[in-house]
Amino acid sequence: MDELIDFAKTVSGVPLLLLQEGEGCVDIARSNGVGSFTFQGSNWGDGEIEAELNRAKVQLPNFAIAFLHDADDVGVKKAERVTEVCCKLRVPFIAIDPRSIWADIPYKGDIREVLGQMDVNEFIERLEAQIHGIVGREEPTVDDGNGEGEGVEPVDTLNQQAFVFFFRDSPWICANDILYEWQQEGYYKKVNDGHLVPRIAAYCNTSGVWNESKGRLEYPFAKTASAKEVLAWAKMRLTVDGELLNPPGLNCSNGILRVFWEGSSPTFRLLPHSPNEYYIYPGLVEYDPSAHSPHCNRLLECLDDAQRQIFLRNIAAAFDLSNVRRIRGRTVKGLLPCGVGSNGKDALRAVVSLIFGHQGMTSKTLADFQQYDEGRKFSLASLRYSRINWASENPKTIKLDSLQSLKAYITGQKLDSEKKSVDGEEFTPLGIGLWNLNELPNLQGALQSSIDRFAPLAFRYIYKDDPDPTNEYELQADPRFVYDENFQRLEVAPTFLNYMVSAFHALIQEGIDYTCTHEAYEQIQIENNHLFQFAGDINLDYKLGSQMTASELWALLEHWYIDEGILTIEENGKRTWGETNRPSDRPIKAINQVIPQIHKIFPKAKVSRIAHPSGKKYISVITGIGLVESFSSHPSSTPIPTPTPTPPNPYTH
């Protein structure tokens, strides 16, 4: 120890003393030109550690300790004990796991085994890299009075000392007042304040200050304000821009799958994990460009060819949605998977959730968006860092075309991220949206804004344990697709990920063809508004130069109501009204309602008032619609048989 202290006195700035376990390790280091020290004995009592450090403090005004412990549980426990004593004495301390220098070091291994695998120069380089990595990516300095100090965090105040104690063993970040700690799996894990507060309180409770005048140790930091200040200070030191969380690309188990651009041409590369990439979801799926599993093809059989293309290209847009919007505009839509029973929706959702590390996918329902529109904006706060929002259960009564926040989310317009009782912050949503529905969605009008934003996907197949071989819409069920995550991770997700990469290239080159959804969209319109069925049945459509009065439309509509059994007129003129398919879709019962309601389904037509032929009054007319000779009939509700789907080939790198 004395020899090391004498040498440390010659170092400018704050010296860092290397601590090891045992004289043997110290001798090996010395023989290779590396100075270090150890404590006597094998158990390392607190008293001995404190005495040695106090002796060093007498000779060195400022110093720090780096402990390269052995690769075993005993070494870890010794590191914890030294940490506690250093904290008490206000000595900066960092522990270095030897596995960070040589990953394959045997259990109980030390510097002897490390130097058996590398020369001393490489050892020193790796050791210094670990020290700098723990001390901080920015390498903060300590001012020695001349502005020349460097190497470790300053530890003059309680906040500084606590920061070193709690936050220097691994990288941390803070975004929107939430702390995240770097994990070896390659992501930042959320750490609730409730996990840290008791530890910080205990630290403040035992942080003593020697009162020279009274000759005793006092504990002035054992109070709520000190603990709160330590936490607040740490968050300030670690704060990063929240927009940097979950950047473009995908966090995988074997690295980061990143999209690189040359103009409008994307290229995928797999990069190593890095604390400088702020992913807050774990990579659970390996990226293997050669993966090609028949199980993934079975999963995708739940959609026909055209709908599968729409689904994969929309999901793939999550790789880099901001650039997709830059190149392709609003080609990405909100998907509405429709269908009852075991039809594959949940299985697809399970695999997509796995690919995005579960935490990268949210499940905000249509009801949550409705709450946002009503002023309770905290319901959508988690969408800020979401890359996929897929809600498995949604109420059928909510009118999609009335949800302004939903439309904003789909098209990337700003929303507010608001916590309860805290002012919100604007953010640009960068997530793909899907909302499962058992029935056709509630879309009342023919507004182009709804057509441009939503795409219904019809899940026509049913999965059964014992499917009927003569029924092409019944497929063999396999519970592993929903309930066996290990099966999904190994046998399905890697191939699915390759399909996503292929779909991303196709999306950028070709866009997305939504033609196959038009049939479903027309059916949605008919189910939600009987006037669409009325218009189709009588061949009422846009017609240039044509004009219809309220009386003409009322006569046609009244006759149609009678034919459909909605209206009965008795001989004495008494009218009895029935109901339409949906209670919310009420029939028109007065002539003055006809033109306003017809205008909703033909929004491009023009409503005006003209003089009556008698010249005594004005009447309402709608211009631009009329009865046409031919009209493309609306589809029936009977499913159209689809060919056996052929999965897309994965993108070849």
Q: Over the stretch 623-632, which tens digit does the pLDDT of each residue have?
A: 999 999 754 4
What's the token pair of residue 514?
């939504």
CATH of domain 1-154: 3.40.1360.10
Residue 146 has pLDDT above 60, yes or no: no
Q: Whose CA is closest to 171, among 156, 187, 158?
A: 187
Same fold, 1-154 and 293-521: no
Report percent pLDDT > 90 for the chain. 52
Q: What is the pLDDT of residue 155?
A: 54
Look up residue 647 and give its amino acid.
P
In CATH, the architecture of 293-521 is 3-Layer(aba) Sandwich (3.40)
Residue 446 has pLDDT above 70, yes or no: no
Q: Could you report the per-residue pLDDT of 87-109, keeping only the tens digit for each? A: 778 788 888 888 878 878 898 99
Q: In DSSP terms, which residues pair with 188 in a beta bridge?
A: 182
Handedness of CA 81, 82, 86, 87 (dihedral sign): negative
Look up residue 224 and give its amino acid.
T
Q: Could you report the per-residue pLDDT of 513-527, keeping only the tens digit for each? A: 999 887 777 777 777
> Rounded to whole angstroms, how far apart are CA atoms 181 and 572?
80
Q: What is the pLDDT of residue 153?
A: 58
The mean of the pLDDT values for the chain is: 86
Q: Could you report the per-residue pLDDT of 471-490, keeping only the tens digit for each? A: 988 999 999 999 999 999 99
Residue 311 has pLDDT above 80, yes or no: yes
Q: How many CB atoms lie within 10 A of CB 338?
A: 22
Q: In DSSP terms, which residues pair with 19 in a beta bridge?
A: 37, 67
Reported as a pLDDT band with limits 50, 70 and 90, residue 3 is confident
Tell me the DSSP string of 365-421: -HHHHHHHHTT-GGGGGGGGG-SEEEES---TTSBGGG-HHHHHHHHT--EEE--TT
Q: Which residues fall within 8 angstroms of residue 341, CB to CB, at 6 or more apart?
A: 462
Reported as a pLDDT band with limits 50, 70 and 90, residue 421 is low
Residue 101 DSSP label: T
Q: In DSSP terms, which residues pair with 260 in a beta bridge?
A: 267
Q: Could you report the per-residue pLDDT of 245-262, keeping only the tens digit for each? A: 999 999 999 999 999 999
- Segments making up each domain of the chain, as ranges: 1-154, 293-521, 540-627
What's the token pair of residue 145?
């009075």
What's the token pair of residue 480?
């592993």
